[in-house]
Structure 1
Amino acid sequence: MKYLFDFFLAVSLNGLSYYIASFVLRNGLPIWQALIIGFSVVSLGALTEALGSPMWLIVLVPFPVGMFLLYSFLQVPVSQWFLTYLLTLAIYTVIHIPMSYFFDFHSLIPAWKLS
């Protein structure tokens, strides 16, 4: 049950990072599309981990999926998409630090254990 809770928490926080970045840059990504990206990225990372892949691959594999889905949903020029993605990564990192440190939650970036 804890794994399921952690999975949905990771999907929510990951999707939230996409949504906030899009909101800040006024790209208009709806929350449901941000959650689809979050679900896809977290699911792919969990699947890669379940297959016993090395940690570098678990972290690397979800990136292209998140990038492609964000580009597909936004329908903006590449420069605007790239800026949105960079801001998403920054927000994602900022969310990860307190979650890892205070709540011992490492599912956002599995290989980056801060506490």
Structure 2
Amino acid sequence: MNVVEDLGAKVSYLALAVGTRVYDVDSAPVGVVEHVLTDEPKDIFHGIIVAPPGPDQSHRFAHREQIADLYERGVVLSVPVRRCTSRVRTRRPEGPRPRVTTRCRWASATPGSG
């Protein structure tokens, strides 16, 4: 197990900053938070998009159930990063667009789609 730096106090998903480091279940650094996917009016945290450390790697979607803890300076996953969805894509649902507030440029990401 790798040693993780001091991650600070636990935080709410509402306080999670873009650029926060992400660690997998074995405490290995796997990237940084690129997007926080939420439905703020309904107070629902969907998960995060993890930007990889290298340009030849793909972004990953970590569903809220795959996240162990959120801290001021780090996110710790509850699974190996390879278990997070690697083909991150968005799609617009049929019918009227739901009112979803996100702190990113993507409207939605569905875990397991792909």
Please say whether Structure 1 and Structure 2 have the same fold, judged by a TM-score greater than 0.5.
no
TM-score (norm 2): 0.27
TM-score (norm 1): 0.27
More helix by share: 1
